[in-house]
Amino acid sequence: MEIRITGLTKHYVSEGRTVKALDGVDLTIPANHIFTLLGPSGCGKTTLLRCIVGLETPDDGEIRIGDDIVWSRQKGIAVPTEQRGLGMVFQTYAIWPHMNVFDNVAYPLTVRGLSRAQINAKVAEVLRFVQLDGLGHRPATRLSGGQQQRVALARALVAEPRVILFDEPLSNLDAKLREETRKELRRFLSQLDITAIYVTHDRVEALALSDSIAVMRAGHIVEIGAPRKIYFAAEHRFVADFIGRANLIDATVRSHADGATQIDCALGSIRCAPSEHAQASQVTLCLRPEFLQVLGGTLPGTNVLNGQIESIDFVGEVNEAEIRVGETLLLARTAADTELVVGSQVSIALAPEHCLLVAA
């Protein structure tokens, strides 16, 4: 089910101060996509999700789910939450501790007044789907965090919603379990014909889970794209910075020739991949740490920088090295078995295709 949001605005007034939580959001979420709202704390992700669900009343704009307008100020439409055909999974799971797994999952069907036989069949099916069959009689509190999360998912799915919404559902899990549950969730969702909207401030979660990511800032959508597009070819400096570790350097475009763009920046003259942002004269050079090729000694050449290693952190999979090139400190990631010595002179080769220019 496609979701179309136009001109959505929401203010909060708190302690005499007005906060613009959503500032005219326009957004189309394609049917059957896993669509993530990603952004720093306070950018309006949860407010947007709550407006879609109907837990928050916008000030202006329109929300459509499929062909139905569920909220429109102009048209005076406000469909109640329970009639919007949505399922929701929260950070806290919101499962009831005094009920067993079966009763937790059955709850949405019980309040709808389905027959016992219908409830039994549907709950059994959905518990099988989330691989909790056999645990129906287990008290909900006697489950692991990952299993509780699956109960919450089962309860959201049992009523066969048109859209399922997740608000930071993995943030209470420890790192290892979060990764496992994220993979599981991706597998479950890809087996269903359902549109999923997922709120997180965790970029790795967003990259790994999503078909599309909308990066938000201060009540706006800054950029929307597939994970690889956002990571490798962000259009905005804010997005390039938020989605991954990046060296971001102010630059001036000098020329376009031979399918490349030549820029000047604090690192010198650099040959970059062509970019539509290179039409502006002031741009930002984005260098991902994993694409800095660190070589021993001082070497000449185009797109080769000479610098000195200031620090090395061994973080398991890789080394993270800070390398000073003139006034600029660059972060580089190198293979964990690379021998690097603090204080030594090194060269850094930059492949033009990995020199990304983004809007300043």
Compose the 15-44 pattern: x for residues touching ligand ATP by CB under 6 A, - for all others. ----x-x-----------------x-xxxx
Q: What are phi and psi of 352, to 5 degrees?
A: -50, -35
Of 47 and 303, CB closest to ligand ATP: 47
Q: Does 47 bind ligand ATP (CB under 6 A)?
A: yes
In whole angstroms, the minimum distance from the beta carbon of 220 to ligand ATP comes to: 12
DSSP line for 133-165: TT-TTSBGGGS-HHHHHHHHHHHHHTT--SEEE
Of 46 and 100, CB closest to ligand ATP: 46
Q: How far apart are CA 359 and CA 107, in angstroms?
A: 50
Return the bridge partners of 284, or none.
250, 358
The answer to whether the CB of 317 falls within 8 A of the CB of 255 is no
Size of the residue set binding ligand ATP (CB under 6 A): 13
**Neighbouring C-beta atoms of residue 287, cutoff 10 Å:** 24
In whole angstroms, the minimum distance from the beta carbon of 166 to ligand ATP comes to: 12
- Which amino acid, 202? D
Cα dihedral across residues 63, 68, 71, 76: positive or negative: positive
In whole angstroms, the minimum distance from the beta carbon of 26 to ligand ATP comes to: 17
CA nearest to 170, candidates 130, 127, 212, 200: 200
In whole angstroms, the minimum distance from the beta carbon of 215 to ligand ATP comes to: 11
When binding is defined by CB under 6 A, the residue of 122, 201, 203, 288 that contacts ligand ATP is 201
The answer to whether the CB of 291 falls within 8 A of the CB of 272 is no
Q: Does 12 bind ligand ATP (CB under 6 A)?
A: yes
In whole angstroms, the minimum distance from the beta carbon of 207 to ligand ATP comes to: 17
Of 12-20, 25-33, 143-151, 311-319: span binding ligand ATP (CB under 6 A) = 12-20
In whole angstroms, the minimum distance from the beta carbon of 212 to ligand ATP comes to: 18
Question: What's CA 60's distance to the chain center, in Å?
Answer: 26
Of 12 and 314, CB closest to ligand ATP: 12
Of 49 and 278, CB closest to ligand ATP: 49
In whole angstroms, the minimum distance from the beta carbon of 222 to ligand ATP comes to: 13
With H, G, I as helix, E, B as strand and everything else as coil, classify residue 329.
strand
Cα separations (Å) of 332 from 60, 266, 291, 297? 46, 17, 8, 16
**Residue ranges in contact with ligand ATP by CB under 6 A:** 12, 14, 19, 21, 39, 41-47, 201
